[in-house]
């Protein structure tokens, strides 16, 4: 479908920040890209950690399949910890598959791409451009950071050192920079961080554009992390001013984030020039970044937690031969990128991939070919053996940067203790992924193991309770929460937890007391109104439920769960057209959402649109098989449509579920 594919990653880019810049004419390149192709939200994954997400983007698979579970990992010999590496990825990335299929690929700075893989093309690892500590003349080339190795010396000249970023270069980001007291430690920290990460960003761009211009390629992937890192330093100063931020600091730093986005737009222009009109362009982020009233407040624990700043939807733009011009795309996920790229190249999609090709982006939907898996396909894929060594000095520098950014705590001096702590964190992240996209029973086993090793750790107790909730094991959930509940703690989180537990047990009125108290304590917390809406639905107070879900959407317009809940509340009030619209919006925001697909099917069936209802139910059933009520709906709908064989098949499924003692379906 296209001669080439260019995949561009902007970590944490967000439409809420971009849209005002587009309207002001400040991102003209992105504006043209949008007008010439499709654009929309792209749903992130849980847990929303960059190493996990960018490897899911690169493989089309969830964390439990690709094996990258955090920022750091134990060293193979157990002697300590190191930044996560390409050798820990348990499956092929898209560039490995393309190498195997005879295509030539270049990969620049992708997260967890060190050591560089020996693919058909060039691989520049995410540690090659990592700025050093010290003077410019002491910037060695990190071993195994470039493939093929002879390219390393040539590319080293394009790296930009932070010392090369002068005041004039910072002026567009900080117009009033001359007013800064550079003897102040906090000011020094901010300025040094900005210089460092602009330099790294410029290095990545220079190397990517040189490769595009000088080395033949079919596929190009380049990852820029600056928007995320600059956001963590400067988003508290972004307009509108937060109450806790002083006016002077606000006036000095309020343009930094905007400047970073405009810088990326300028770099995008050069990438598109080099790519040419026959290249399929895919630009995306792994998640969004809070920039409005939902930002964590200074002085709270969330303020210092990088993941608390992340929004559940990133950006997606795509243009190229056969791609629809000037259209919106709905229901895309990070997992859909690799299936789409393979389809563009005319290659089959692995059935073990968790995403789907975005065929709705094309004027003529392409035919999707499938194979069981690419993992056992013969041929050289350019992957490393898992025990490849990593330079210890390089690893230490990369670890220090992760500590400075707040992504990890400083490693324990005791190596064995540090290994144990990291192993627990990786298991925790695995449990979260399985809890959200796999079996509640399997997730419960992971968290039970962690809690057994750390009996007093609330961090593991609450997701274990959630796993019990999802698996309908309410007695175990209550016993666990009672052990950890502090009934004297006057906090919205505790009231929310109590309300959720009581609601799950069927004590709706008692649940509402605690949830309403939580609302008074934290009137801007979307999760409280979400739980309130759910409790009102259970109590058949549909108007109140509608109000609660609408409140969530006032606070966060891209909240898929609120759209789903509002759809249910509206359907119960016989407002069927609006109910269908909200259910469609829910699956558009988050495609992997079985309950929302089931709700869409139910609303369409009541609206007397059986063919569309069948499609919605089948989509949901593919994600969550064995739901008795859905099989009942489908049996009736197929009979109405005259497809008696399919109706019979669903009657058979109902009989099997009953014969197996079908329990209540897992909770959404």
Other Cβ atoms less than 10 A from the Cβ of 150: the count is 8
pLDDT at 347 over 60: yes
Measured between alpha carbons, how far is 126 from 514 in angstroms, rounded to an integer? 48
Domain covering 4-402, topology = Alkaline Phosphatase, subunit A (3.40.720)
Residue closest to 585 by CA, chosen among 565, 560, 607, 568:
560
Secondary structure percentages of the chain, helix, strand, coil, to 5: 55, 10, 35
Residue-wise pLDDT for 69-115, tens only, equals 999 988 877 778 888 899 989 999 999 999 999 999 999 999 999 99
Query: Torsions phi, psi of 572, nearest 5?
Result: -65, -20
Instruction: Say what the pLDDT of residue 664 is.
Output: 45
Length of the chain: 668
- Bridge-based pairing of strands 121-124 and 105-108 is parallel
Q: Which two tokens stand for residue 433?
A: 């992924």
Q: Which two tokens stand for residue 52?
A: 């996990």
Residue-wise pLDDT for 524-573, tens only, equals 888 899 999 999 999 999 999 999 999 999 988 889 999 999 999 999 99
Give the list of residues 6+ apart from residue 295 with CB closer than 8 angstroms, or none. Answer: 235, 236, 242, 309
Per-residue confidence band for 668, with pLDDT thresholds at 50, 70 and 90: very low
In eight-state DSSP terms, residue 632 is H
In eight-state DSSP terms, residue 70 is S
Asked whether 450 and 427 are in contact (CB, 8 A), the reply is: yes
Query: Torsions phi, psi of 528, nearest 5?
Result: -65, -45
Phi-psi region of 283 (alpha: psi -120 to 50; beta: other; left: phi over 0): beta
Measured between alpha carbons, how far is 471 from 463 in angstroms, rounded to an integer? 12
Give the H or E element holding residue 39.
Answer: strand 38-43
Asked whether 334 and 286 are in contact (CB, 8 A), the reply is: yes
Q: What percent of the chain has pLDDT over 70?
A: 94
Give the H or E element holding residue 317.
Answer: strand 313-319
Residue closest to 30 by CA, chosen among 249, 322, 305, 284:
284
Measured between alpha carbons, how far is 222 from 7 in angstroms, rounded to an integer? 6
Q: What is the pTM of this model?
A: 0.86
Q: Which residues sit opposite 111 in a β-bridge?
A: none
**Domain ranges, ordered by start, for the chain:** 4-402, 408-475
Give the list of residues 6+ apart from residue 580 with CB closer than 8 angstroms, or none. Answer: 567, 600, 603, 604, 607
Measured between alpha carbons, how far is 57 from 54 in angstroms, rounded to an integer? 5
Residue-wise pLDDT for 417-433, tens only, equals 888 898 999 999 999 99
Per DSSP (E only), the strands in 399-447 are: none
């Amino acid at each position: 479908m296209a001669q080439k594919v260019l995949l561009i990653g902007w970590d944490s880019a967000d439409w809420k920040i971009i849209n005002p810049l587009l309207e002001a004419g400040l991102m003209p390149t992105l504006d043209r890209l949008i007008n010439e192709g499709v654009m929309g939200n792209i749903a992130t994954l849980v847990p929303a950690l960059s190493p996990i997400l960018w490897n899911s983007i690169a493989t089309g698979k969830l964390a439990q399949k690709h094996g990258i579970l955090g920022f750091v990992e134990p060293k193979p010999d157990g002697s300590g910890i190191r930044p996560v590496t390409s050798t820990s990825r348990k499956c092929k990335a898209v560039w490995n598959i393309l190498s195997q299929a005879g295509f030539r690929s270049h990969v620049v700075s992708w997260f967890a791409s060190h050591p560089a893989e020996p693919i058909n093309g060039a691989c520049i690892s995410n540690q090659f451009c990592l700025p050093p500590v010290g003077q410019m003349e002491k910037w060695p080339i990190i071993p195994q950071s470039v493939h093929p190795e002879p390219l390393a010396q040539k590319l080293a000249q394009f790296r930009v050192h932070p010392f090369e970023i002068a005041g004039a270069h910072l002026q567009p980001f900080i117009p009033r920079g001359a007013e800064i007291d550079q003897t102040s430690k906090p000011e020094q920290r901010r300025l040094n961080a900005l210089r460092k990460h602009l330099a790294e960003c410029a290095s990545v761009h220079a190397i990517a554009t040189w490769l595009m211009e000088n080395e033949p390629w079919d596929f190009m992937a380049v990852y820029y992390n600056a928007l995320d890192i600059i956001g963590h330093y400067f988003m508290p100063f972004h307009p509108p001013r937060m109450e806790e931020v002083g006016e002077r600091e606000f006036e000095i730093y309020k343009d930094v984030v905007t400047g970073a986005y405009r810088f990326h737009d300028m770099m995008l222009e050069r990438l598109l020039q080099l790519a040419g009109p026959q290249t399929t362009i895919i630009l995306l982020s792994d998640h969004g970044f809070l920039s409005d009233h939902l930002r964590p407040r200074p002085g709270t624990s969330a303020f210092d937690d990088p993941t608390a700043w992340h929004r559940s939807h990133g950006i997606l733009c795509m243009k190229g031969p056969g791609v629809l011009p000037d259209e919106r795309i709905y229901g895309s996920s990070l997992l859909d990128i690799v299936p789409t790229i393979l389809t563009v190249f005319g290659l089959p999609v692995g059935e073990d991939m968790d995403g789907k090709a975005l065929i709705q982006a094309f004027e003529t939907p392409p035919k999707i070919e499938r194979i069981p898996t690419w993992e056992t396909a013969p041929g050289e894929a350019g992957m490393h053996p898992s025990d490849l060594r990593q330079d210890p000095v390089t690893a230490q520098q990369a670890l220090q940067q992760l500590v400075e950014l707040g992504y990890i705590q400083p490693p324990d001096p005791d190596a064995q203790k540090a290994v144990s702590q990291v192993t627990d964190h990786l298991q925790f992240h695995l449990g979260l992924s399985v809890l959200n996209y796999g079996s509640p029973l399997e997730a419960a086993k992971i968290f039970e193991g962690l809690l057994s090793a750390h009996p007093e750790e609330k961090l593991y107790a609450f997701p274990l309770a959630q796993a019990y909730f999802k698996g309908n094991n309410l007695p175990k959930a209550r016993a666990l929460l009672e052990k950890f509940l502090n009934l004297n703690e006057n906090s919205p989180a505790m009231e929310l937890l109590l309300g959720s537990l009581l609601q799950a047990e069927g004590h709706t009125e008692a649940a509402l007391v605690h949830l309403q108290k939580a609302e008074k304590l934290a009137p801007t917390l979307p999760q409280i109104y979400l739980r309130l809406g759910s409790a009102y639905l259970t109590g058949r107070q549909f108007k109140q439920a509608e109000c609660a879900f609408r409140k969530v959407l006032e606070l966060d317009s891209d909240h898929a769960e609120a759209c789903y809940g509002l759809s249910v509340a509206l359907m119960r009030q016989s407002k069927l057209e609006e109910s269908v619209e909200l259910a469609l919006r829910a699956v558009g925001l988050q495609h992997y959402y079985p309950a929302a697909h089931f709700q869409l099917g139910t609303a369409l069936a009541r609206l007397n649109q059986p063919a569309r209802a069948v499609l919605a139910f089948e989509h949901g059933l593919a994600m969550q098989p064995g739901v008795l009520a859905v099989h009942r709906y489908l049996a009736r709908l197929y009979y109405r449509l005259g497809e008696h064989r399919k109706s019979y098949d669903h009657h058979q499924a109902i009989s099997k579920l009953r014969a197996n003692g079908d329990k209540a379906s897992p909770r959404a």
